[in-house]
A and B are shown apart, each in its own frame.
Chain A
């Protein structure tokens, strides 16, 4: 960016390109940039490739590092010498690469702790939450996107505000309730029903997840529903379909991309969630419905020196989302921008 700035200001000040070579080589080079458009375009192209390469390396290197650690036998990791030099344009630069090829680590991950159970729990929780969120949000999205009624604006704001509050602000009362204590109406003191003891069950996680991720799904679906032309719905209604019938048979099928978008984003969000996932399952045991978070943390807490297994477990945990990102990239991009920019 600095070079572009320089060249443009020079263009302004010198005005006429002068061919006399004054100053050092840098100045002459800048001068030639000003006069030669081809050269300038080449520089932009080069800058572009440098930037693209830089972003690729910085985003992907940490995953490469996981692979290096997973493949290196653990005995070599501790106190290992990572500065293994590799030749690079005449000189040698230190670059970490695997010291060995220990694929067995990927099997050991499942033997050390029941890692597959944690992943299974994550999938169950994510799927259940996605279904609940979609069921509620598709109705709400329809209302906000297609109906005009008093209170629409303030209600949408209220939903938006809820999505901003930190999970920590919900923790103490929710934890109390999930322990089986009575639910007390705030500031009045009336004791309502006491919920069953929900900690260590899927309910204690699915409920907060639904509340946390419902607003985003609502906003995505509102955007998509609003885009469907009124004529289609009117036609269905004239033919005698009920309002709900029009919603389920005309509008929902037409906004299938929106529903898919909301589903993908909700699933990823639950799969990635940390706060309630790590708290509501008290001992992080798979029998207590502890999801992926518990599996990874159990390596950090119990098998504190099995670094290769930590890396291997992380790679296994990442694979599902990498597949989702590669398959549903367009959905993620449109969902994030629709959810954030429209409202």
Chain B
């Protein structure tokens, strides 16, 4: 690479002195562990101040009252108010999010959560489960197509990746325009069928939730497809040869070879997407506005200016939910032996 300046390199260094040379020499004398931690200092600095500090501080703030200057310590009061619905007056969003019996008090399975927080939980979970489910299925289909050799494969792959690569705000704008009653032709088709509301489509909670879910599937299926494709391409092609000789049908080959071997990659892809979908904010904000479809992140953004304690509590609940999923990921990593 740089053979010409190598012989002169060390010789020059030993003659020179100055702060820079001294630092370099000090680093050379560090042990491997010291050297490693030295190079990692910037990472610790950035992640410590911009991620770890805010996270801890969020938890601390959630234990205090909402006022900005000299807040009082109230313990878990904010959480209690959130979960019992007492805080609803301070929260934007809608308590009657889903029609029918879903919102009547006490019908929520497992936990008894009241009010706006409950509808935000429902919104976030429904959005996450439905979008990840369809992304997995469609992504698998896309990956199977991209796994074939055909002319123009590169272009099909580019077309599938493009939605993943566009800004969230433009994704939101596209679906805003497609479903705005004034412009969107889809309202003319789907409205009469009762799939979405015909008037004020983007102010109707159930319709909007459906629309943002579809928008998310459209954009992020590509991510799923690429991860599954990587799994598919790591499969040894000889296995299929053997299976064909043994007389296995294509469906059998898929069931006995493809599916089991791609499952680890699929599992990781699903976890990544689930965690990501639970953070949804921008898409909802740009399609229908946060108060129509209040996800957990939406609630934090809508409340943090006026009620810091409550907003922090919601933020921490969101983080804790995701933390649960992260624990699953870590356990997986641990099992595989990082």
User: Which A residues lie at the B interface, using CB under 8 A?
Assistant: 4-5, 7-8, 11, 44, 48, 51-52, 55-56, 58-60, 62-63, 65-66, 69, 77-80, 82-83, 94, 96, 135-137, 139-140, 142-143, 147-150, 152-153, 155-162, 164-175, 183-184, 186-187, 207-208, 210-211, 214, 218, 236, 239-245, 249-250, 253, 268, 271-275, 278-279, 292-293, 296-297, 300, 305, 307, 310-311, 313-314, 317-318, 321-322, 324-326, 329, 332-333, 336-337, 340-341, 343
Choose the segment among B50-58, B81-89, B109-117, B125-133 that binds chain A (4+ C-beta atoms closer than 8 Å): B50-58
Contact A332 B174 (CB under 8 A): no
| Cα A174 to Cα B54 with chains together (Å) | 6
**Does the CB pair B185–A96 fall under 8 Å?**
yes
A149-B32 contact in complex given A77-B182, A240-B6, A340-B269, C-beta closer than 8 Å: yes
* A83–B188 CB distance below 8 A: yes
Minimum distance in angstroms from A14 CB to a CB of chain B: 13
Cβ of B148: which chain A residues have Cβ within 8 Å of it?
A: 48
- From the candidates A82, A152, A317, name the one contacting B170 in the complex (CB within 8 A): A317
Chain A residue contacts of B180, Cβ below 8 A: 307
Q: Mark B246-259, 1 if CB is under 8 A from A, else 0.
A: 00011110000000
- B121 / chain A contacts, CB cutoff of 8 Å: none
Interface positions of B (Cβ within 8 A of A): 1-3, 6-7, 9-10, 13, 24, 27-28, 32-33, 35-37, 39-40, 42-43, 46-47, 50-61, 141-142, 144-145, 148, 150, 154, 156-163, 165-170, 173-178, 180, 182-183, 185, 188, 218, 222-223, 226-227, 229-231, 249-252, 265, 268-269, 272, 275, 278-279, 281-283, 285-286, 296-297, 300-301, 304, 308, 311-312, 314-316, 318-319, 322-323, 325-326, 329-330, 333, 338
Return the chain B residue nearest A66 by Cβ. Answer: B174
Q: When the two chains form their complex, are residues B43 and A275 in contact, meaning their CB atoms are under 8 A apart? A: no
Partner among A4, A77, A341 whose Cβ is within 8 Å of the Cβ of B265: A341
> Which residues of chain B are within 8 angstroms of A310 by Cβ–Cβ distance?
173, 176-177
Given the complex of chains A and B, what is the CA–CA distance between A325 and B161 in angstroms? 7
Contacts A336-B223, A336-B226, A343-B333 known; A62 to B56 CB distance under 8 Å? Answer: no
- CA–CA, A227 to B166, complex, Å? 31
B149 → chain A closest CB, angstroms:
11
Contact A207 B50, beta carbon cutoff 8 Å: yes
Tell whether, in the assembled complex, residue A274 and residue B281 are in contact, meaning their CB atoms are under 8 Å apart.
yes
Q: Are B165 and A245 in contact (CB under 8 A)?
A: no
A184 touches B46 (CB 8 A): no
CA distance A268 to B163 in the complex (A): 12
The interface residues of chain B, by DSSP majority, are classed as helix
Query: In the complex the two chains form, what is the Cα distance from A300 to B287 in whole Å?
Result: 10
- The answer for the CA separation of A336 and B222 in the assembled complex, in Å, is 11
Query: Can you spell out 6 A-B residue pairs with CB atoms less than 8 angstroms apart?
Result: A69-B183, A148-B32, A149-B36, A241-B9, A250-B1, A314-B170
- C-alpha spacing A313/B169, complex, angstroms: 11
Instruction: Determine whether the beta carbon of B227 is less than 8 Å from that of A66.
Output: no
Query: Contacts of A242 on B, CB cut-off 8 Å?
Result: 13, 24, 27-28
B contact residues around A77 at 8 Å (CB): 182-183
Q: Which of A164, A186, A278 contacts B329 (CB 8 A)?
A: A164
- Taking a contact as CB atoms under 8 Å apart, the answer to whether B161 and A332 are in contact is yes
User: Is A164 a contact partner of B169 (Cβ separation < 8 A)?
Assistant: no
Complex Cα–Cα for A7 and B250 (A): 10
